[in-house]
Structure 1
Amino acid sequence: MKFKAALLHVIVIVSTVLGGLGSARAESLQIVGFGDSLMAGYQLPQTESYTAQLEAALKAKGIDVTITNAGVSGDTTSAGLARLDWSIPDGTQGVILELGANDALRGISPDQTEKNLDAMLARLKERNIPVVLAGMLAPPNLGKDYQDRFNSIYPRLSQKYGVPLYPFFLDGVVTQANLQLEDGMHPNAKGIAVMVERSLPTIESFIKSLPAHR
């Protein structure tokens, strides 16, 4: 009987410890990086993707966060809108929204791009999920009129929904061949590191503003 009592005591202790570890994991901030190939990490190991490198950078600063990669290569804003709800599960505490690059590459009307992004922001607001918006700039070959209409989308939506804006997701990478893959469009692992370094202050500020972080 003494042995059984001692065994039961050990089981209770182990269960308590494991339960505590489970609670600690549950306290990790749950963030989703929602976007296209720039978020997904096109042709890169998942450990080198934007979400993975960003998570590591935030943890190095003492921020306990888990960033799920919900990037899909080739996604336009229309495709993103169609999969928004099932790609961002309940319990998500923040979203990095990065879409629009493929719209510009395909010459999709900026009005349609804005309509789709607006609908995504409205839906996430309805679900009480905070968002930081990652902006994009239109390629210069599309002409000044298209550029002006497209480039103004992100600041306007940021103001409309009161969400923080990181103005250009590819800042520091877009004109640097050594930071890009051979296609001249997608960042390599070093390029992703630059993107993380430059966007980190905005993302860190966003995460620290989250209700779950306080």
Structure 2
Amino acid sequence: MKGSAMWSVFRYGVFRGCSKAALVGLVTIGLTTPAMTRADTVHLLALGDSLTQGYGLLEDEGFVPQLREWLTERGHDVRIVNGGVSGDTTAGGLSRVEWSLTPEIEGMIVTLGGNDLLRGIDPSVSRANIEGILQVAEAQDVDVLLIGMTAPGNYGADYKADFERIYPELAEGYGTLYLDNFFTGVLQDGEMPADVGNVMQSDGIHPNALGVKQVIEAVGPKVEDLIARIEG
């Protein structure tokens, strides 16, 4: 995120905790039993925080269900596991990625780092955590779409530069697909639109249903690339 798009990141992810039992109950969008799914169904995991989870939205308005609908409309047979946990950091994602990648998962969308920025976590720590996630995916032969973050300038130019290098450098190093910003589809010339209330919830942190739809206009084609890589 750039400019005014980053004003929300300082409060980003300050939400209720999530128990292990809740994590085990990750929401699955689509057909849920192997006996019911066709052999050509592509199985994806969306690993992230509240943006992935769909915080503050009705179940069918969140990122995962809207993404699945977008893909289905374009002829893709896909099942997406919602691995979004509100308030999660890159460390949280690393701690649960291995057991979240159940045997049928073929691809993973990774959207983590906003809460690291909120807490001012050392970029080297965030980098190591994201790299750990990519190493687990590589070991399990899971293709990845890595979605990046733009750091605010409040922590200084060095922090900003170090943090922003994490995603493109790791994407190149591990050969993953890459999108620079979750909010790319919402931004106008790199900034949040003047009528931000039309696309964001009242907390100024999370997109509303329309905002999610715009997010998916940018994320969706990248997920199609991920599916093509899996099927290729």
TM-score w.r.t. the length of structure 2 is 0.78
Identify the structure with bigger relative contact order (alpha carbons < 8 Å, sequence gap 6+): 2
Mapping 1:26-37, distance limit 5 Å: 26-37=39-50
- Residue of 148, 153, 173 corresponding to 1:160: 173
Cα shift readout 1:160-200 (whole Å, capped 9, x = no counterpart): 10111011111243623221111111111111101100122
CA distance in 1, matches of 2:83, 2:39: 20
Match of 1:129 in 2: 142
Alpha-carbon shift at residue 203 of structure 1 (Å): 1.3
Mapping 1:1-214, distance limit 5 Å: 22=35, 25-173=38-186, 175-176=192-193, 177=196, 178-210=198-230, 213-214=231-232
Q: Which has the larger radius of gyration?
A: 1
Alpha-carbon shift at residue 140 of structure 1 (Å): 3.1
Alpha-carbon shift at residue 139 of structure 1 (Å): 2.2
Alpha-carbon shift at residue 73 of structure 1 (Å): 0.4
CA distance in 2, matches of 1:157, 1:32: 19
CA distance in 2, matches of 1:45, 1:199: 20
Alpha-carbon shift at residue 24 of structure 1 (Å): 5.1
Match of 1:13 in 2: none
User: Is the CA contact (8 Å cut-off) linking 1:136 and 1:170 kept in structure 2?
Assistant: no
Q: Percent identity?
A: 39
Structure having the larger proportion of residues in helix: 1
Paired residue secondary structure (2:92): helix
Alpha-carbon shift at residue 23 of structure 1 (Å): 6.5
Paired letter, 1:160? G
Paired letter, 2:208? N
Cα shift readout 1:88-109 (whole Å, capped 9, x = no counterpart): 2111010001111110111100
Paired letter, 1:170? F
Unaligned runs of 5+ in 2: 1-33
Paired letter, 2:183? L
CA distance in 2, matches of 1:170, 1:60: 22
CA distance in 2, matches of 1:188, 1:139: 22
TM-score w.r.t. the length of structure 1 is 0.85
Paired letter, 2:204? G
User: Is the CA contact (8 Å cut-off) linking 1:39 and 1:49 kept in structure 2?
Assistant: yes
CA distance in 1, matches of 2:82, 2:202: 23
User: Is the CA contact (8 Å cut-off) linking 2:143 and 2:229 kept in structure 1?
Assistant: no
Superposed CA RMSD: 1.6
CA distance in 2, matches of 1:62, 1:200: 13
Paired letter, 1:183? D
CA distance in 2, matches of 1:24, 1:170: 32
Paired letter, 1:125? E
